[in-house]
Amino acid sequence: MLQSNPLYRSTPELKAKPLLAVEDLAVHYRTARGTSRAVDGISLEIHQSETLGLVGESGCGKSTLGRAILRLVEPSRGSIRLDGRELVGLSQTALRGERRRLQMVFQDSGAALDPRWTVGQLIEEPLRVHGIGSLAERRARVARLLADVGLPADAAARYPHAFSGGQRQRIGLARAIALEPDLVVCDEPVSALDVSIQAQILNLLHDLQARRGVAFLFISHDLSVVEHVSDRVAVMYLGRIVEIAAREALWRAPAHPYTRKLLAAVPSLERRGRRAGRGIDHHDTLPSPYSPPSGCHFHPRCPMAVERCRAEVPSLRVTSGAGHRVACHLA
């Protein structure tokens, strides 16, 4: 059971100056198959203490975008500013200081934990690498972090294999927040977990945000999960953002045909498993990012497509409501 359903949580007042500002970001890969436009000119902002959900089908470029924001993959063009400071073009040495402020949690953070290290050593490592505190201070901080993520103090002396998948994800989270980052990119952080454990991790993220003011970019293919954690939601299709809005506005009045299709396909978290999804099926697949359709990438799957959609790329423009933007010629 979710501790507090953010459906009833008001969207925080967004400060004028964003924590993170991404502008016209692109990641193009050249391979033997040609050039993949995994991320193709994305602009978005994330504010302090905000959760921006990022949704879309597998292969739409969400994870690449998350990794590019952390400079784990190199952007082909564009700008990433953290509190106004440009990250694109920074050397790895100059980036090191900013890395403390930006962390990532993966789908299975537990799998990335070195099985030869104790949980205490694993959580302490980022503190040690950044030269933070004495040994005694770091150990005290590890104890606080374990408490923060709901693990007992004696977990520090045990090894990762002694923990369940959900507990290992908590250990991954403790590592990610050890350096008190401003933004954590969460890439499908609950997809590998049972529904009951998912709720625990989502509640934990919510608590951490309330206590520490951290912002999250929450990447998921699962709208029912995103519905519960996000203040705003960005919908991604084949390397581009097609709609971005406050969560309530998006669920109440989705403006892009693809968003409507996604929403029709996914039952809510409470109803999950009780009815089959509709709208997106496996015969209706995402085109290849190596040869995206012309104009609006969505036109071959769009029930509303007109001739203009095949020729002209729709820009992401403001539609009704504050900050509600959509990339569709007919919206």
Q: Does 292 bind ligand SF4 (CB under 6 A)?
A: no
Closest distance of CB 252 from ligand SF4, Å: 19
Find tokens 């608590």 and name the residue. 207
- Using CB under 6 A, which of the segments 73-81, 99-107, 245-253, 293-301 binds ligand SF4? 293-301
Stretch 237-256 residues interacting with ligand SF4 (CB under 6 A)? 256
Closest distance of CB 35 from ligand SF4, Å: 22
Closest distance of CB 46 from ligand SF4, Å: 25
If one counts every other C-beta atom within 10 angstroms of the C-beta of residue 105, the result is 25
Closest distance of CB 309 from ligand SF4, Å: 3
Q: Does 26 bind ligand SF4 (CB under 6 A)?
A: no
- Using CB under 6 A, which of the segments 45-53, 87-95, 163-171, 295-303 binds ligand SF4? 295-303
- Dist. CA 326–CA 43, nearest whole Å: 12
**Beta-carbon contacts of residue 319 (< 8 Å; ≥ 6 apart):** 255, 325, 326, 331
Q: Does 257 bind ligand SF4 (CB under 6 A)?
A: yes
**By C-beta, is 2 or 330 nearer to ligand SF4?**
330
When binding is defined by CB under 6 A, the residue of 39, 52, 208, 309 that contacts ligand SF4 is 309
Evaluated on CA atoms 74, 79, 80, 84, the torsion sign reads: positive
When binding is defined by CB under 6 A, the residue of 37, 232, 240, 299 that contacts ligand SF4 is 299
Closest distance of CB 94 from ligand SF4, Å: 40
When binding is defined by CB under 6 A, the residue of 304, 311, 318, 322 that contacts ligand SF4 is 304
Task: Write the DSSP assignment of 146-215 as a string of letters.
Answer: HHHTT--GGGGGS-GGGS-HHHHHHHHHHHHHTT--SEEEEESTTTTS-HHHHHHHHHHHHHHHHHH--E
Closest distance of CB 329 from ligand SF4, Å: 4
Helix (H, G, I), strand (E, B) or coil at 102: strand
Q: What character string, x for contact with ligand SF4 (CB under 6 A) and - otherwise, covers 133-172?
A: ----------------------------------------
Closest distance of CB 242 from ligand SF4, Å: 7
- Dist. CA 207–CA 205, nearest whole Å: 5
If one counts every other C-beta atom within 10 angstroms of the C-beta of residue 104, the result is 21
- Dist. CA 205–CA 214, nearest whole Å: 9
- Dist. CA 9–CA 64, nearest whole Å: 29
**Residue 268, amino acid:** S
Q: What character string, x for contact with ligand SF4 (CB under 6 A) and - otherwise, covers 93-132?
A: ----------------------------------------
**By C-beta, is 9 or 260 nearer to ligand SF4?**
260
State how far the alpha carbon of 31 is from the alpha carbons of 28, 35, 276, in Å.
10, 6, 37
When binding is defined by CB under 6 A, the residue of 302, 316, 324, 325 that contacts ligand SF4 is 302
Q: Does 298 bind ligand SF4 (CB under 6 A)?
A: yes
**CB neighbour burial string for 144-169, b if at least 16 within 10 angstroms, e if fewer:** ebbebbbbeeebbeeebeebeebbbb
Residues contributing to the site for ligand SF4 (CB under 6 A): 256-257, 296, 298-299, 302, 304-305, 309, 314, 328-330
